[in-house]
Amino acid sequence: MGTKIRVDQVADDDLDDWNEPLSEEEEDTGRSRLKYNGKRRRQIEDFMEERRLIRQISDSYDDFDHLR
């Protein structure tokens, strides 16, 4: 697997477009949801890494299109 991206290193703009809605249980917990367990943190880091790789691939295809 590639380099992990820590959640606290991600720009706020990137967090706004997450398409993963919170469940009602997570919404009801309020402040306690700020305390991520290790598994949830790894899931978020994996998700952010995947998004970074998708963006990187997309950018490389955009560069390729300019060469045509």
- Write the pLDDT tens digit of every residue in 20-50: 555 555 555 555 556 668 888 999 999 999 9
Given a contact cutoff of 8 angstroms between Cβ atoms, the answer to whether 49 and 4 are in contact is yes
Which domain, by its residues, includes 12?
Answer: 7-67
C-alpha–C-alpha distance, residues 44 and 46, integer Å: 5
What pLDDT score was predicted for residue 37? 84
The model's pTM is 0.41
Give the total residue count for the chain.
68
Q: At 46, list the tokens.
A: 């994996």
Given a contact cutoff of 8 angstroms between Cβ atoms, the answer to whether 56 and 9 are in contact is no
Asked if the structure places residue 46 within a domain, the reply is yes
Asked if the structure places residue 2 within a domain, the reply is no
| Band (62; pLDDT cuts 50, 70, 90) | confident
Q: How many domains does the chain have?
A: 1
Asked if the structure places residue 45 within a domain, the reply is yes
Q: At residue 17, does pLDDT exceed 70? A: no
Q: At 58, list the tokens.
A: 């997309």
Q: Read off φ and ψ for residue 3, nearest 5 degrees.
A: -70, 135
